[in-house]
Structure 1
């Protein structure tokens, strides 16, 4: 008789913190994956359990399957657009001061944590009869965690939500095995940083934490997996075992509410780009292309109007100045529209009724807006950088994200109905749908395949 599977705890700390807010990027992935896993927990996978990190109590607390579903399906509320960051706040001296302050503060915190852990370890040493399956204590200053000793924990969301020192202590004192979703290699420690030689350092970028402390890594693309392996090689370490999983494309379940029309937009009368406004997403290139087309009068001979460029995504401090400049520009203000509060119903309508989509990002671990566009049958002009061609399955039109002239020419080409129809026919031939249930299956296959504690 086969032995029962040990419980696999699924962390929803980010989803809990972001509940009620419009999902973007990694939060969307986390919500969809948790929803698919919670559905399985009620049918074929009773070994799945759910938890979140309670910042106030400084411990993991249990979350029921029903509560997990409620968190990821919570109705969303609009967000307020941020004002541009004042120029004086970006002064180099202030930036240096903040880095020094952050480093000193976290160094002191890390040293104090290690000192406190050493005291607890010394106090606990005479007690040799602690049960092997007792709940995790000590790492939380005496607070009891819902994670038993030797537990397996899957963290599908943003690692920045967690206290790395707490996770390190749970691994060492209670044999916690960590499986982490890996999105991309955006932050690493610079050469010569003293934290490189400190195995107890908790103030480290999430990519470094994954490399040091993950027992199993689930990469969202072969590109991300390769980037992590290359980084491990530069650090001179083997790194954790990595499995590549597929990400789903579905924006809504079969019983979801109908798409919500966006006021002021005519079906087929706009081109769509989805993504938070910021330097990495490269919206500047699209604004330059649209300004060039608008200043030429008409997009091309035979077309009556230049389609509106719709930018659907949050506008943070980094992108606020770019948006403000575009809205003041006498050419762009009538041809570009920024939508910062697009929920899933409105986003489905935008994909369904746009002429085509654009995604000029400079760096991605996957490129969810590209596959969402292709899943809707819409042609996508996308960057050829990093993981984006892999995500598109070869069904998008890929261009150098620095070549504005090439993007302008391709936009003009897809304004022709015959060219657009041919591009959409290529999608039908090449693109294969992936559901979030497929993503959950990939995750469980990787974690069930073998013992994955390092």
Structure 2
């Protein structure tokens, strides 16, 4: 058994530690728990710092606070309000561009700092200037930059870097514990590492390229957990920045990976087909393993008094509403849900259960939310939008809803469907393959072109008690897959196979074939 370190990359959890640990963040947390339990101190929690070009161990003294408790972060700084007139906003944007450029040049003069320190100071200066713009003004400036990108494609990486910096500045993540973590004493020596494990958003910075280089130079074995290929297969409904950053990251991952896990058989097939179609080194299908995500939901809810207060606050009746959970973005298909409920309301003369949307607003959702709020054809309160729900309230909303819907265009897995079934609640889903797989036949999948069937089933589950009881019985047959099962499956055989765990056919080694540089037109 090797005594080299197993580096667990927690960069995504660190970068987005102010968010609730859902989705990818929850997966990273569970991956860490799995390897820490199985391998003890050999498993090292680390983050990647692109400016310093290395991986850094998160000190034990602050690890729990940084990763698991959403701590070690200042309050979000005050940001400027939007100027009352559009021309004043454009004047602020022009001033930002001029001041940011001038301050960046000033930091670099005289050679007072090394390259890493210069970059950090420049980022800090630009972050201060970004806070002089409102969020709306930043969006206005970004719209102009994206338009400019059409004639000057070379600025795309700068736009992505500015987006990342704006995000960190907005949430107060520029001056944090970063310097404490990324001190030289915490830098991980590449020769001490034997395994690298990534389960997060590896496309968010250059960590995928750094890991590839460590594989070539120091023999690291690279293991990736792949959630989906949506930015490639469904790019038209994927967030624009991810649509640009994901393909090159996947390119380098496929050129230098030794072990792959996927969250579903659908994602596994997507990955194998993409690799074969685009001419990447062949992945041996039997060594690309499906490790299904866990979902630990509990039927117990808060006390009757607490529940009464909660539902009074939300103006909801237990058992008298329908639930849809997920980030509000085009791919989740809230537009379909809105039109479904609008038509139901028209057919039922406004006598309809409220549809409750739970989730953070995502990209390009603003116009739809405005339309929902202003639509005179939608009865007041027919659609409720909740973007401030905590874990305990979400459990209660699942437990006491009538049923759930999830008309997503495409998923790599489908956690809201699983959570609904774990609470014994019927779920109407689209016929996206991963949703059918996740539900194990216990949810009702309906094609998105079959609008009349959606209308009929949505109405039947409101009014027809026999149909509702049958749907509940179907949901109760669901077999839960717990996070403990996920952790056990992830580490099973991790070392037992020794050097034979590579996904590669022996004929496709990095010595026998060098990677082809990524080209955007070949993605």
Quote the offset at 1:71 in angstroms: 3.7
Do the aligned partners of 2:443 and 2:475 also contact (CA within 8 Å) in 1?
yes
The residue aligned with 1:11 is 9
- Please say if 1:426 is aligned against 2:474: yes
Quote the offset at 1:365 in angstroms: 0.6
Quote the offset at 1:75 in angstroms: 4.9
Structure with more of its chain in helix, by fraction = 2
CA distance in 2, matches of 1:309, 1:397: 18
Quote the offset at 1:230 in angstroms: 0.6
Summarize the Cα distance change of 1:205–1:392 in structure 2 as closer, same or farther, 3 Å threshold.
farther
- Please say if 1:48 is aligned against 2:95: no
Quote the offset at 1:330 in angstroms: 2.3
In the TM superposition, 1:352-431 aligns within 5 A as: 352-415=399-462, 416-429=464-477, 431=478
CA distance in 2, matches of 1:271, 1:206: 39
Do the aligned partners of 1:247 and 1:436 also contact (CA within 8 Å) in 2?
yes
The residue aligned with 1:228 is 271
The residue aligned with 2:188 is 146
Quote the offset at 1:188 in angstroms: 4.2
The residue aligned with 1:271 is 322
TM-score (norm 1): 0.77
Equivalent of 1:20, from 6, 18, 21? 18
CA distance in 2, matches of 1:19, 1:95: 31
Quote the offset at 1:420 in angstroms: 1.5
What secondary structure, in the 3-state scheme, does the structure 2 residue paired with 1:9 have? strand
Bigger drift between 415-424 and 52-61 goes to 52-61
Do the aligned partners of 1:245 and 1:443 also contact (CA within 8 Å) in 2?
yes
Equivalent of 1:63, from 49, 53, 58? 58
CA distance in 2, matches of 1:374, 1:67: 37
The residue aligned with 2:227 is 183
- Please say if 1:157 is aligned against 2:200: yes
Summarize the Cα distance change of 1:250–1:206 in structure 2 as closer, same or farther, 3 Å threshold.
farther
Equivalent of 2:372, from 326, 333, 353? 326
In the TM superposition, 1:22-101 aligns within 5 A as: 22-38=20-36, 40=37, 45-63=40-58, 67-75=62-70, 89=143, 93-94=147-148, 96-97=150-151, 99-101=153-155
What secondary structure, in the 3-state scheme, does the structure 1 residue paired with 2:438 have? helix
Deviation string for 1:174-228 (max 9, x for gaps)? Answer: 2221111101112349xxxxxxxxxxxx994333233222211110001101111
Do the aligned partners of 2:299 and 2:423 also contact (CA within 8 Å) in 1?
no
Equivalent of 1:440, from 487, 490, 508? 487
The residue aligned with 1:129 is none
Summarize the Cα distance change of 1:252–1:45 in structure 2 as closer, same or farther, 3 Å threshold.
farther
CA distance in 1, matches of 2:325, 2:52: 37
CA distance in 2, matches of 1:283, 1:73: 31
Quote the offset at 1:87 in angstroms: 12
Quote the offset at 1:426 in angstroms: 1.4
Do the aligned partners of 1:278 and 1:319 also contact (CA within 8 Å) in 2?
yes
Quote the offset at 1:325 in angstroms: 1.0
What secondary structure, in the 3-state scheme, does the structure 2 residue paired with 1:205 have? helix
Bigger drift between 85-94 and 9-18 goes to 85-94
The residue aligned with 1:244 is 290
Quote the offset at 1:435 in angstroms: 1.2
Quote the offset at 1:156 in angstroms: 1.1
Summarize the Cα distance change of 1:98–1:318 in structure 2 as closer, same or farther, 3 Å threshold.
farther
CA distance in 1, matches of 2:376, 2:228: 38
Do the aligned partners of 1:187 and 1:207 also contact (CA within 8 Å) in 2?
no
Bigger drift between 157-166 and 83-92 goes to 83-92
- Please say if 1:284 is aligned against 2:328: no
CA distance in 2, matches of 1:203, 1:406: 36
CA distance in 2, matches of 1:442, 1:278: 32
Summarize the Cα distance change of 1:271–1:211 in structure 2 as closer, same or farther, 3 Å threshold.
same
CA distance in 2, matches of 1:421, 1:292: 25
Bigger drift between 29-38 and 377-386 goes to 29-38
Quote the offset at 1:329 in angstroms: 1.1
Quote the offset at 1:91 in angstroms: 10
TM-score (norm 2): 0.67
Deviation string for 1:378-434 (max 9, x for gaps)? Answer: 1110111131100111111001123322211110111122212211111222x1111
Deviation string for 1:326-347 (max 9, x for gaps)? Answer: 0111243521011122222221
Do the aligned partners of 1:289 and 1:408 also contact (CA within 8 Å) in 2?
yes
Summarize the Cα distance change of 1:97–1:143 in structure 2 as closer, same or farther, 3 Å threshold.
farther
- Please say if 1:102 is aligned against 2:100: no
- Count residues in correspondence: 396
Do the aligned partners of 1:50 and 1:62 also contact (CA within 8 Å) in 2?
yes
Do the aligned partners of 1:83 and 1:317 also contact (CA within 8 Å) in 2?
no
What secondary structure, in the 3-state scheme, does the structure 2 residue paired with 1:152 have? strand
Do the aligned partners of 2:59 and 2:186 also contact (CA within 8 Å) in 1?
no
